[in-house]
Each structure stands twice: as C-alpha cells, then as structure tokens.
C-alpha cells in the first residue's frame, strides 16, 4: 500500500487511520468481517448477496460531522490526562469557598489549548470529508439488467459486474472476467498498492474470458466462494462454480482497488470485496504510536511535581490549621469564618484545595502546547533542508511524524538494509562464466580505461545504454560457440519480464527486480533479444532470426526456492528446462558429471565476489516427451489443489529440477550509493553502532561491508558465526568473546612480545592467518580460522564489566540459520554480549521477521535508542519495530516510506538527519524544558513563601491577570524561539565533530539530575524575588513620606522583577540569536509593561470595577526609584551567581562545544574569507567520484539478492561509486583511557547487564582517505570528548616528579592560537597531536600555507608532546575538512 502522488484529491483519505469504523454502519460490518469464515458471491444477483450484509463500497474515513464534532472532539481531548487535570482545577475554582483565583485564570489557557487542537482536528477531518466525497462520487459503469449504467462508486455493491476502461482506477476488488486483449489478459499498474511502477499482467479464467459482450455477461450467474477479507496483497484463494464445474481462482485473476488499468482497451470484473473490505483499506490500519524517552521522562517528572504540589499543599494546610487555632481565633469577633467553616480543621481542608489551585502553575498546560509547536518547527526544518534534497529524483527529506525529532539526537544503534539502502539497487551486467571460461575484465580507476563495446553494428536491437568491455565474449557469440549461445538463450527465456515495444526495435522491459532486467538486457545486446510473450509462447530474435518457443511451464521464483525455471519447446520439438538461481541451491541439483566444470565455475564465483558482485548459476535439463507428460500431470494436480497448494507446487518443482547440466554463472554489480563510506565513518565516530541486516548471502554482505568501510583490513579481527546447531553457535560466540578479551589485554599491554604472541597464535592484527594476508584464498581461510577444530566446552560468558574493558575494533558476521539459534530465549544474552562488543555487525540471509527480532532484542537488552533504515517491503517490520524508522524512496516502491517516521532518497542524508537535525532537536528540547521548569518554579514558589506571611489564607501574591497571562503571553514566545531556533555550533561543525553527538546518547542534557538543578535554581530565584522586595519595601517610603509597604506595591514589584529576571535568564540561555529571538525576548518584556499599565488604568476600572482592583498601581509603583533599585538588586542576586558559575565552568572546564565555538571565532579572525558558504562547503565534501572501488584482495563469494517478491510465472503461463572525502575524520578520535563520559557509558551498560559498545574508544578514520597524513596517538584530546566532556586535567608522565595538574582555559587557548600559530604550525612531528597538514591553496594547484588544527594549539598549551610520547596505543590517521589557513 502506498499513498498516491495526487493526494489528497484522490486517495489521501484511504491511508488515514480507520477511526471512521466507529461509525455505526461500518462498525457492524467490521465486526462481521472478523467473524466471516468464507465469502460467497453470486454474479448479477443483488438479492442473494444482500442477505450476507456485505459492506458497501462507500468509504468513510472522516471522524466527525457538524453535529458530532464538538462532543466527540472534546471527549477525545479530555482523554488526555493533562486536559482532565486542568478541567478538575477549573471545577475547583468554581467553588468560591476554596478559590482565591478567578475561574478565567484556568479556563483561558485551557480553552486556548482545546481550541487549537480542535481547529487542527477539524482541518484534518475537512480534508478527509473532501477526499471521501471525491472518491465516493466517482463514476463507474455497472452492468444492471443487461445494460451498462453509470453509478457512483459508493453505490457499487458486491456481486455487481463493472466495466473498466483504459487508465481508469479500479473501484473495488474485482475478479477479472474478460478483457479486450487476447486470452483474457489485461495490464495494470499497482504503484498505489505496493509502490512498484512496472506494469503487471492479470488474466481471467479461461472459461469466462469468452464472455466478451454485455449479453453474455448479463446472463453469467457463476458463484465465487473465497477467503474472507484480509490484508494480504499478494495472495487470494477462491473457487468459481459455474455450470456444474469448479475453477481455481488465485491472485493472478484479481484486480485490486487502487490499481490502474493500462494498455488495455476495456475489461469486465465481478466485485468480490467492496469498501472497507478491500485489501487496500484492510492495509490502512493504525501505525504503532511511538514516544520518545524525553516524553516518558517528562511524564514521570510531572507525577513527581504533582506529588511535590500535594506536599506543599499539605504543609500550607497544616500551617493554616495551626494559625487558625492559635492566632485566628483572636480575630473571630470582627473577621469570622465563612459560613461553611466551623472549625480550624475544616478551614485547613479548604486551604489545601485552595493552594492546589494556586500552585498548579508548576505544571502549566502551555507546556504541552509548546512542546508540540517546537516539534512541528523542527519537522519543517527537516522538510526544508536543501542539503537533504536529491535533485536526481526530485525528492526532499520528509518528517512524517512530529513526535520523534529529539530522539534523532539519541540514536545508539542503526539497523540498515543493504540492497537499495547502502547500494543503488541499479544493476549492471559485469562478468560471466561460460563453460569454464570467464569473461568481463575489471577496470582500474587509476589505469587506462578499456574501450566500451559498440553493439549497434552487430545488433540493431541492442540497448545503447548497456556497457561491457570484454570483446572476447562478443567474438565468442559471433563465431557461434554453442555454449555461449545456450547461455544467452537461457537468459532470454528464463524470466518473467514483460516487454513493451513502443516502436519497431524500441523495446522497454518491465522486470520484477533490477537483477532480472539486467540479465535480459545483457542477452538482448549479445544477440538473443526477448521480444514478446503470450501465456503459451515466448518470441525472441536470436542472431537476427525470429524464433518462437512454446512455453510449457514456469516454475516461479520465491524466497524459499531461491531459483526459477521455465520449460519450453523449441521449434524443432525438443523440450528443455532452463533454470537460474543462487549457486548454493543450484549446484547441489546438478548431474554428477558436472563436477569438474562446477569446481572451475565455483572458482570464478569466488573471483567475482572480490568486487562484491551478485551472482547466479545457470543450468539446463533436456526432457523427453514421457518425462514431460508424467510431470505435467502431477503439476496440474498440484495447481488445482485447494489445500496446501503452495507446498504441493514446491514439491512438484523440486521433482523436475534435478540432474541438470551446468552452463555457467553471471555476475551483476550493484554499486554503492554516493557517500555511503563517509557516512558510515562519520556515524561510527559519533559512537553509533551500525548493523547491516540483509537477505543476501554471507559473501555478498561481507564484501559490501568492506566496500562501505564497515569492515576494514585494519580491524583487529572479523568473526564469522555459521553454526548450524544451538550448541555450535554458543561455542562460536563464546570463542569470539574469549578472543576479544585476549587481544584486548595484549593490545593494552603494548609490548612487542605481546605482538609476537599474536604471531605465535597464527594470527595477525587484522584477524587473518599469518602468511596468507596477501593471498586471495588465505584471507578466506583466515576468516574461517574461528571455525577450526572445536575445543572443549567453553567457559560461561564473562561478566559484563570484563567486556567493558575490551579495546580494539572487532566485527562479527552471522548467517541466517545461526541467527535463528542466536535469537532463541536462552541464547539472547550470549549473542548480545558478543555482538555489542563489536564495532560492526552483519547479519546475512535474514528474513523480514528476523530483522524485527534483532531490533527488538537490542531494545530489550541495551535500553538504547534504535533506528532502522530500509527501502523495501521486506524492511517494513524492522522499520516499525525500531524507535525511529527511516524509509529510502528508491527502486523498490515506497512501502518502506509509508511505514517510516522519516524519509529521504539517499543513505548519506542520514548523517545530517542525526548529527545536525537530531542533535539540534535534542539540544533545543532539553534547553526548553530546563528553562520552562525553572521559570514556572520561580513564578509559583513565591506563593508558597507568601503563605507564611498571610496567615496561610491562600492569598495570591500577583494580580490574577498576571497569573493568567504569565505563561501564555509574557514568557511563552521567548522560550518557543529558543526551542525552535537555538543551536550551539553551526551545522558544518556538528558534522566535523561527531563527538558532539554523545551527550544525547548518554542523555546528559536533560535528566533527573538536570531537572532537580533547574527546580533548585527556580526555588532560589523565588526566594530572592520574595524576600528581597519584602525586606526593602517594608521600611521604604515614597518621596512624599507615604510608606511603600502595601500589598499591591509588593505584588507589582515582585511581578516586574520576575519578568525581568526570566527574560535575562533566557537571554543567557540562548546560544544562537536571530531576529525572531530579539523580537520575542525584548518584545515580551515590553508587552508586559504595556499590558500591565493598561490593566491598571482607570478606564478599565470604570468599566469593570469588580474585576480590576489594581487601579493606578502600576504607574505609582514604577515611578518610585526605590522600586527600580529593588528590582535591580533582585535581578543581580538571581543572575550574578549564574554568570559566575558559567564563566568559571567555561574557563576552567570547557566542553567540546565551547572549544568548537572558540575555534570558530579564532578562524573568523585569523583566516581570509574563502568566499564559500556553509552549504557549499559541506556539499562539496567528497564530491569527486573515483569510480568503482578497486578490487580488494581476498576470496569471498557473492550472492543474488532475494529481496523482491514472487514473480509472475504462474500468471504468465495461465494467460562501486565511491567518493573520497576530505573530512577531518580522525579529528574526532578520542583515547581509550577513562574520561567521565566513558565512565557514564560503562555505568549505563552495567545497569542494563549487557556489555557496552566498544566504540566509546578511539574511532579511526577510514583507511582510504586520500592524502598522506601522519598517524595520531590515542591520547586525550578536546576533540575526543563529547559535548559535555570537560577538558580533563593533564598530568605529566615523568616518573620522578610529583604529578602536577595543569589547567588551561579556553581564553588562553584563543590567545595562544594568535601568538603561537607560526611556531606551532610546522611542528607536527609529535604523534600526540593533530598534525597540521599541507593543503592546496584556494587560488591554485600549489600547496598553500600551513594549515593548523585545534590539536596544534593543544600541543603548545597543554604540553601534550610529553604525554604523547608516553602513549603506547597508536591512533588513526587524520585529515581535516576545513582547517584554518594562516597567512
């Protein structure tokens, strides 16, 4: 199911949640469909069909009408706990005995929130109504009483016969009865269902295909018995009973609602499912609602705040009881209790509820509205990001949800599909092996390029876009080599491709998968051109001669068989079976006489796998007439079976696909998408683990892993898990962990003898057997070294704290059958312990269900935020299971996009989505929440302190209008501006320094500790705002001698001081100022004074004397100098400690973000303007293509991608682009030793009883970065920390001296950079710093001036040279993307 391109006018409503089933009529039908065991439909008999009460064809996705909108919408909104809470407060305020606030102080914000939500819901429902009406009122031709009549879609009923014409949408799920095309064929486009744009063929049952005219169809009274309504788009099972005979019905006979009739003049269909029973509507159910960790934390904190509110109410109520008993009785004679109150206990009870009302603003309703507005703004920023727009496919990034933006900044695990996600899913025929001879020469990107073959003189029907470079294969075809001809004959016949010949010789192939299209196109160019097909024939042009084969059977492809076959009879009458499929399943079905050829072909397959090519093996078998007759009888029986039909067909296929003769193998290249290696490298440096979950075979996945730099030759070891039993998988996982611990301890020792010990163990640093590293077969054997003789039963799993200490880079590759065992309940911990200690994990041969299970496993054991990204229907379950789902709009339709939370067209955009938008969203939301809780505690707690001075009488400090407007006018816009626009560093710096991403993963910016700090600051502010004015004004007088110690003066002074303090505070908290920020902050402050003066004016008092009691108080109070002195004093006492703390924190322990900002400032001052914008800078990175990745030494088998859906065989028979970037990847590396973020990470993973990720240590840059860069030490660097990682105290390594602590502030860093640049720049020999690298000047090809990075400054200031000398663990190479150029 996909959303059509012209929504909402056509189909938008169909994909909205089916909440409309609450409608009375649809509820009954929905309930009925759930209990329906089978469906019976009789053609042209409405009376018979009506007794089953089938659903009509009317679609109703709207939720409301004019009458029900208000009550239903309010009922839905008050199901939210927050709205119910504030409704409860409003009811309390209507009780005069307990309310000291007017009812409008609560009803105004509540009504505002309810109104905004109601307008949004009404707008959405209006569009639903609009699209419903448009769809329901479409016209359709219905056969009624022998004539065609125009009926609206909503009036079409089950059992009606409908006529469809070319390019019309299908109105309901129809059984195809007849067509204007021969053999009852018709062509449909299913893009609205499954996203596939290629045409598909449907065919009517042969007995009904003859009913071509209206008279015959009007007399048709066949009855269909079929399955009940369901959401399976690719399956249908039913039987047609007509004229005392029964005929099997399958999905190939069905036209589903949402399809479009193409290239067919007209056809007739019988309505089987209508309206909500159609498969389209059955697939439009609700998606699982996802909540962020901040949402869950906020719900917990709100409960805590409510408990705190109750505690404050109890304290003040107890105070009221004590005061009324001890003091209040003295006033009874002239200040008696109100009539309901007759004792101090009842007075305390009422006082409790009064204070609950007054203090409720600690959780204002505006909080929830503000959060949604901020998230909406972040979503629009993603949609508007031009750097995530793909001009090739004209597709922009899209945030399909607004609730998960901040969680994009907390991702720890990425689960990615391979085909179409990491690769382009655009296949090209690259190499082949025919009868033991290999063809297709590899191209060297650095050497001379071979000449591309020109097929036009040889074959006028050749595809001009086809590329091939080995002319020996073309010569073999021209000389008439029989094996070569048979090879390409197989490729031209064994497929389910549909051909469309727009003009003579202009062929367009519609294939179910890009692989199949590439193979048929290859055969076309080498002289075996597939021209057309009918249900019983295939017409080709072989070496210029037209040939028509009789198609006897198609043994279709599926993900279990992993192969497909056709049985054809050639013009000479010989019957032959042609088969193509995965080598792992096809080679075992060959005749034993093929052993020698099979060995040679297997070697060729190994050679092809070096380039990560996708392979297929090809074979054939000659059949006698007797063999065919005997098998075809069993095939017909299996085809007509009504029970277990698929299993019986599979057994029949297996029977004939034996004793085949090997022809050869094909190799297809699926190139990597642009920027994939760089993206994976950057995300790895951000401490994000990337797991690849693919349906391809192990060898293909491993080679793609090397191509995209998930796996590198510099890795400590790569483990292969391929056990076939639970015990063998457990042993392999435990041996892998033991090996990790052993190598980690040796690595930490740093001794040469330790390295030699590795050699004695027959291993080198990359995990492959020594002495075979340069040998192609040696590497494969080295990888499989782990699987060598099984030792005795291994020890139990090591404790998680031991796994925490693992250093080094490991990877694990696990097969599907092994993964099935690893996912069992008693094996989960074993798998998680091993896999999560690795930098990269590749799971091969996994099913869509296993993909979801792996995601759920990590969610369960690691408690980490997960992201799944894919492009096909087989990725939907994984996308829905992860916290965040990302869909790639690629070659496999848009099913993954529809199920996703975010979508774009290129994998490389993921780094910007996470490192820029995700990190900013998390940062903004955390700052917003911290400030929001601070300002409301500062506002509300003043009432608490005032209670001790007003006899606990629930008297408010502020004017009631100030209480009403504080959160919705005076302080709402500044915090919204900060939450939407704020940023700590520019976007390109976020990409340059991936370590800035770590605070989100560790949840450092907003957690329970930060929350308590915020409310502590708010309480401190409330103390100052209450007691300072109270102390000053108690003895102050006006210039006329009149005392200022009155309630209204105190209220105005405190309120003014509060607004000024929180405005100054948000000015300090804002890190990125825009015009909007200035307008909102200073405008809100000015708005406060304007509104206050207006509310205190005599004009309003005269109009509403009972509502405005502070008449003239604002003017008289603000004219007193002592009041402004009091406000200034309170503001200083509140703000100065905050300024001092932040100054000392930045000066003594700057965070990485602080240092990045200082570096940015220095660069702007010391560097000439380059004349290139931010966007241009980043877009230019890695834009130089270097062609396909060069061949890598090694031997790995590649495989065919079995990710596409089952082919159209049964239907027919029945009728390496790499970019090398100048990213400063190594700049982001950090050391192995403990810093406080590493400590927090270990604590976090210890708490979850699972091993932590190993990527908390130094993350190396990709080994293929262009340019020679000196190696680095893993010693501490400010670039190695996270945003909240302080620059640690550096200690001198001299053993004979006392340890000395050296602190350097960022201001010293800035000053030193200006003075030491010339001296520091050329001194890059020390391994402990980020060595400056010579780069090309912007003006020409010659080397420009020395470039300098932050590491140079650190060497000069922090004496890292000495420390680096003591460091014993080598680090990765470094290259800088945008180094500062010093004149």
pLDDT digits (tens, 9 = 90+) for 655-678: 999 999 999 999 988 777 888 889
* Cα(1304)–Cα(1292) distance, integer angstroms: 14
Instruction: Assign 1209 a pLDDT band (cuts: 50, 70, 90).
Output: low
Q: Which residue has the higher pLDDT, 814 or 1247?
A: 814
Q: Which residue has the higher pLDDT, 417 or 1215?
A: 417
End-to-end Cα separation, the chain, in angstroms: 60
Give the CA diameter of the chain.
125
Cite the active site residues. 417
Task: Give Cβ neighbours of residue 1211 (< 8 Å, ≥ 6 apart).
Answer: 200, 201, 202, 203, 252
Residue 602's alpha-carbon distances to 442, 445, 607, 612, in angstroms, are 18, 27, 9, 15
Q: Which residues of 1094-1115 are buried (b: 16+ CB within 10 A; e: fewer)?
A: ebbbeebbeeeeeebebbebbe
Backbone angles phi, psi at 1299, to 5 degrees: -65, 125
Task: Give Cβ neighbours of residue 240 (< 8 Å, ≥ 6 apart).
Answer: 175, 205, 207, 208, 222, 223, 224, 246, 247, 249
Task: Give Cβ neighbours of residue 143 (< 8 Å, ≥ 6 apart).
Answer: 44, 149, 160, 161, 162, 163, 214, 217, 218, 268
Q: Which residue has the higher pLDDT, 411 or 1357?
A: 411
Task: Give Cβ neighbours of residue 212 (< 8 Å, ≥ 6 apart).
Answer: 178, 180
For the sheet with 254-255, list strands across it: 147-152, 139-144, 161-165, 266-273, 173-179, 254-255
Is the pLDDT assigned to residue 1033 strictly greater than 80? yes
Q: Which residue has the higher pLDDT, 916 or 1297?
A: 916
Is the pLDDT assigned to residue 579 strictly greater than 80? yes
Q: HSE, CB side, 13 Å, CA atoms: give it for residue 903.
A: 22
Tell me, what DSSP letter sits at residue 73? H
Predicted structure pTM score: 0.68
Q: Choose among 1256, 1280, 382, 1273: nearest CA to 886.
A: 382
Residue for token pair 């009506």: 50
Extract the tokens encoding 155.
């009036």
Helix (H), strand (E), coil (C) string for 699-750: HHHHHHHHHCCCCCCCCCEEEEECCCCHHHHHHHHHHHHHHHHHHHHHHHHC
Residue 1087 burial by Cβ neighbours in a 10 Å radius (0-12, 13-18, 19+): middle
Q: Which residues of 725-745 are buried (b: 16+ CB within 10 A; e: fewer)?
A: ebebbbbbbbbbbebbbebbe
Mean pLDDT of 47-60: 90
Mean pLDDT of 886-912: 82
Q: Choose among 864, 866, 807: nearest CA to 1002.
A: 864
Compute the mean pLDDT over every residue in the chain, rounded to the nearest whole number: 76
Extract the tokens encoding 651.
């057994």
Q: Is the peptide bond before 336 cis (omega within 30 degrees of 0)?
A: no
- Report the phi/psi class of residue 863: left, alpha or beta, with left for phi > 0 and alpha for psi in -120 to 50: left
Confidence (pLDDT) at 255: 93
- Do β-strands 537-542 and 545-555 pair in parallel, antiparallel, or remain unpaired? antiparallel
Confidence (pLDDT) at 1158: 83
Instruction: Assign 1152 a pLDDT band (cuts: 50, 70, 90).
Output: confident
* Cα(841)–Cα(851) distance, integer angstroms: 13
Task: Give Cβ neighbours of residue 366 (< 8 Å, ≥ 6 apart).
Answer: 109, 113, 967, 968, 972
Instruction: Assign 798 a pLDDT band (cuts: 50, 70, 90).
Output: low
**What are 591's strand-pairing partners?**
none
Q: Which residue has the higher pLDDT, 117 or 1257?
A: 117
Extract the tokens encoding 679.
């993206």
What does the DSSP assignment read for 1186-1241? Answer: --SPPP-SS---------SPP-SHHHHHT----B-----GGGG---SS--HHHHHH
Q: Of all residues in the chain, what percent carry a pLDDT higher than 70?
A: 74
Task: Give Cβ neighbours of residue 309 (< 8 Å, ≥ 6 apart).
Answer: 356, 359, 360, 362, 363
Q: What is the pLDDT of residues 1273-1326, one digit of tens each?
A: 333 333 333 334 333 333 343 333 333 333 333 334 333 333 333 333 333 333
Confidence (pLDDT) at 1282: 37
Q: What is the pLDDT of residues 82-121, one digit of tens each?
A: 778 788 888 887 887 777 666 766 677 788 878 888 887 8
> Which stretch of 375-384, 551-560, 1080-1089, 1174-1183 has the lowest confidence by average pLDDT?
1174-1183
Instruction: Assign 1261 a pLDDT band (cuts: 50, 70, 90).
Output: very low
Does residue 666 contact residue 438 with C-beta atoms inside 8 Å?
A: no
Q: What is the pLDDT of residues 10-30, one digit of tens each?
A: 333 333 333 333 333 443 444
* Cα(387)–Cα(705) distance, integer angstroms: 26
Q: How many residues does the chain have?
A: 1383
**What are 255's strand-pairing partners?**
174
Residue 1091 burial by Cβ neighbours in a 10 Å radius (0-12, 13-18, 19+): middle
Confidence (pLDDT) at 614: 81
Confidence (pLDDT) at 444: 58
Residue 1015 burial by Cβ neighbours in a 10 Å radius (0-12, 13-18, 19+): buried
């Amino acid at each position: 199911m996909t959303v059509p391109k012209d929504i909402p006018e056509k189909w938008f409503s169909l994909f909205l949640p089916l909440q409309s089933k609450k409608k009375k009529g649809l509820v009954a039908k929905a309930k009925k469909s759930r209990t329906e065991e089978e469906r019976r439909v009789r053609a042209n008999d409405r009376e018979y069909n009506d007794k089953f009460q089938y659903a009509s064809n009317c679609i109703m996705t709207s939720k409301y009408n004019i009458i029900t909108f208000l009550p239903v919408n309010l009922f839905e909104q008050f199901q939210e706990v927050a709205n119910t809470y504030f409704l409860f407060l409003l009811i309390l305020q209507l009780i005069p005995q307990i309310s000291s606030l007017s009812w409008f102080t609560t009803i105004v914000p509540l009504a505002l929130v309810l109104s905004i939500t109601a307008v949004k819901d009404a707008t959405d429902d209006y569009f639903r109504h609009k699209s419903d009406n448009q769809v329901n009122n479409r016209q359709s031709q219905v056969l009624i009483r022998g004539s065609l009549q125009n009926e609206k879609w909503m009036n079409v009923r089950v059992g009606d016969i409908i006529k469809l014409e070319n390019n019309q949408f299908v109105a309901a799920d129809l059984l195809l009865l007849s067509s204007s095309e021969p053999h009852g064929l018709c062509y449909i486009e299913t893009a609205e269902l499954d996203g596939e744009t290629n045409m598909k063929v449907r065919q009517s049952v042969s007995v009904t295909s003859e009913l071509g005219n209206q008279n015959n169809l009007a007399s048709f009274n066949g009855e269909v018995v079929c399955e009940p309504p369901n959401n399976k788009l690719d399956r249908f099972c039913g039987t047609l009973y007509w004229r005392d005979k029964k005929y099997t019905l399958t999905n190939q006979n069905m036209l589903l609602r949402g399809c479009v009739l193409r290239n067919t003049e007209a056809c007739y269909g019988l309505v089987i499912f209508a309206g909500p029973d159609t498969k389209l509507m059955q697939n439009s159910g609700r998606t699982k609602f996802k909540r962020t960790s901040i949402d869950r934390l906020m719900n917990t904190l709100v409960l805590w705040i409510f408990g705190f509110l109750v505690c404050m109410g109890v304290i003040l109520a107890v105070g009221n009881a004590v005061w009324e008993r001890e003091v209040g009785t003295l006033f009874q004679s002239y200040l008696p209790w109100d009539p309901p109150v007759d004792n101090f206990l009842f007075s305390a009870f009422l006082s409790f509820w009064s204070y609950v009302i007054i203090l409720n603003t600690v959780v204002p309703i505006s909080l929830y509205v503000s959060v949604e507005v901020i998230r909406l703004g972040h979503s629009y920023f993603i949609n508007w990001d031009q750097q995530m727009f793909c001009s090739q496919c004209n597709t922009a990034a899209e945030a399909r949800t607004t609730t998960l933006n901040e969680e994009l900044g907390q991702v720890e695990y990425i689960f990615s599909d391979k085909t179409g996600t990491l690769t382009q899913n655009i296949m090209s025929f690259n190499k082949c092996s025919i009868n033991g001879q290999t063809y297709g020469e590899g191209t060297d990107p650095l050497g001379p390029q071979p000449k591309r073959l020109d097929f036009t003189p040889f074959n006028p029907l050749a595809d001009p876009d086809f590329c091939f470079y080995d002319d020996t294969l073309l010569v073999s075809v021209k000389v008439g080599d029989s094996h070569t001809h048979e090879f390409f004959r197989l490729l031209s016949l064994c497929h389910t491709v549909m051909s469309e010949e727009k003009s003579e010789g202009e062929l367009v192939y519609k294939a179910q998968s890009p692989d199949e299209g590439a193979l048929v196109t290859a055969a076309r160019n080498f002289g075996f051109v597939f021209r057309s097909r009918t249900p019983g024939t295939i017409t080709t042009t072989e070496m210029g001669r037209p040939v028509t084969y009789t198609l006897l059977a198609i043994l279709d492809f599926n993900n279990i068989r992993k192969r497909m076959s056709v049985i054809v009879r050639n013009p000479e009458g010989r019957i032959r079976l042609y088969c193509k499929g995965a080598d792992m399943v096809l080679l075992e079905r060959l005749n034993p006489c093929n052993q020698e050829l099979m060995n040679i072909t297997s070697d060729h397959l190994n050679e092809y796998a070096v380039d990560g090519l996708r392979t297929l093996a090809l074979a054939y078998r000659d059949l006698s007439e007797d063999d065919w007759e005997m098998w075809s009888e069993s095939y017909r029986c299996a085809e007509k079976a009504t029970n277990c039909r698929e299993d019986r067909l599979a057994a029949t296929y297996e029977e004939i696909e034996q004793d085949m003769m090997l022809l050869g193998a094909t190799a297809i290249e699926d190139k990597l998408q642009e920027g994939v290696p760089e993206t994976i490298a950057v995300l790895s440096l951000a401490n994000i683990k990337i797991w690849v979950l693919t349906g391809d075979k192990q060898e293909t996945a491993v080679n793609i892993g090397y191509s995209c730099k998930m796996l590198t030759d510099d890795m400590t070891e790569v483990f292969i898990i391929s056990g076939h039993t639970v015990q063998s998988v457990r042993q392999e996982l435990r041996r892998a962990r033991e090996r990790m611990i052993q190598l980690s301890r040796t690595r930490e020792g740093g001794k040469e003898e330790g390295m030699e010990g590795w050699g004695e163990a027959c291993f080198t640093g990359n995990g492959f057997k020594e002495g075979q590293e340069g040998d192609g077969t040696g590497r494969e054997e080295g990888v499989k070294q782990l699987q060598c003789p099984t030792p005795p039963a291994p020890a139990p799993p090591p404790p998680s704290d031991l796994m925490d200490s693992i250093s080094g880079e490991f990877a694990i590759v696990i097969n599907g059958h092994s993964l099935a065992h690893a996912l069992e309940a008693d094996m989960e911990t074993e798998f998680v312990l091993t896999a999560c200690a690795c930098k990269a994990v590749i799971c091969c041969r996994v099913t869509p269900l296993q993909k979801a299970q792996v995601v759920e496993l990590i969610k369960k054991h690691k408690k980490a935020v997960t992201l799944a990204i894919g492009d096909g229907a087989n990725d939907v379950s994984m996308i829905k299971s992860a916290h965040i789902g990302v869909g790639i709009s690629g070659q496999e339709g848009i099913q993954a996009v529809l199920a996703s939370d975010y979508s774009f067209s290129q994998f490389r955009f993921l780094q910007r989505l996470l490192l820029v938008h995700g990190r900013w969203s998390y940062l903004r939301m955390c700052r917003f929440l911290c400030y929001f809780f601070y300002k409301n505690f500062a506002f509300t707690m003043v009432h608490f302190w005032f209670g001790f001075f007003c006899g606990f009488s629930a008297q408010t400090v502020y004017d009631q209008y100030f209480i009403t407007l504080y959160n919705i006018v005076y302080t709402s816009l500044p915090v919204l501006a900060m939450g939407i626009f704020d940023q700590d560093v520019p976007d390109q710096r976020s990409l340059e320094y991936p370590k800035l991403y770590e605070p989100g993963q560790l949840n450092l910016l907003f957690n329970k500790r930060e929350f308590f700090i915020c409310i502590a600051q708010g309480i401190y502010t409330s103390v100052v705002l209450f007691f300072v004015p109270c102390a000053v004004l108690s003895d102050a007088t006006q210039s006329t001698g009149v005392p200022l110690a009155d309630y209204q003066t105190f209220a105005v002074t405190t309120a003014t001081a509060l607004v000024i303090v929180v405005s100054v505070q948000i000015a300090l908290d804002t890190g990125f100022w825009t015009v909007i920020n200035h307008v909102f902050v200073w405008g809100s402050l000015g708005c406060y004074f304007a509104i206050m003066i207006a509310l205190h004016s005599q004009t309003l008092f005269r109009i509403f004397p009972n509502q405005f009691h502070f008449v003239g108080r604002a003017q008289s109070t603000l004219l007193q100098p002592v009041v402004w002195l009091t406000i200034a004093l309170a503001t200083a006492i509140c703000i100065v400690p905050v300024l001092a703390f932040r100054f000392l924190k930045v000066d003594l322990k700057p965070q990485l973000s602080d240092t990045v900002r200082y570096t940015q400032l220095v660069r702007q001052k010391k560097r000439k303007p380059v004349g290139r914008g931010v966007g241009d800078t980043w877009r230019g990175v890695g834009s130089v293509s270097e062609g396909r990745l060069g061949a890598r030494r090694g031997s790995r088998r590649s495989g065919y991608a079995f990710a596409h859906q089952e082919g159209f065989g049964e239907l027919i028979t029945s009728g390496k682009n790499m970019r090398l970037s100048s990213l400063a990847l190594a700049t982001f590396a950090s050391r192995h030793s403990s810093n406080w973020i590493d400590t927090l990470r270990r604590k976090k993973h210890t708490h979850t009883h699972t091993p932590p990720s190993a990527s908390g240590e130094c993350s190396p840059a990709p080994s293929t970065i262009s340019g020679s860069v000196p190696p680095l030490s893993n010693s501490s660097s400010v670039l190695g920390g996270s945003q909240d990682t302080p620059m640690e105290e550096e200690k001198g390594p001299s053993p004979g001296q006392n340890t000395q602590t050296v602190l350097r502030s960022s201001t010293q860093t800035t000053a030193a950079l200006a003075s030491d640049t010339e001296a520091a720049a050329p001194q890059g020999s020390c391994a402990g710093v980020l060595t400056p690298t010579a780069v090309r000047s912007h003006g020409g090809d010659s080397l420009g001036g020395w470039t300098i990075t932050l590491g140079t400054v650190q060497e000069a200031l922090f004496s890292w040279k000495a420390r680096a000398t003591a460091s014993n663990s080598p680090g990765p190479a470094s290259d800088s993307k945008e180094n500062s150029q010093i004149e």
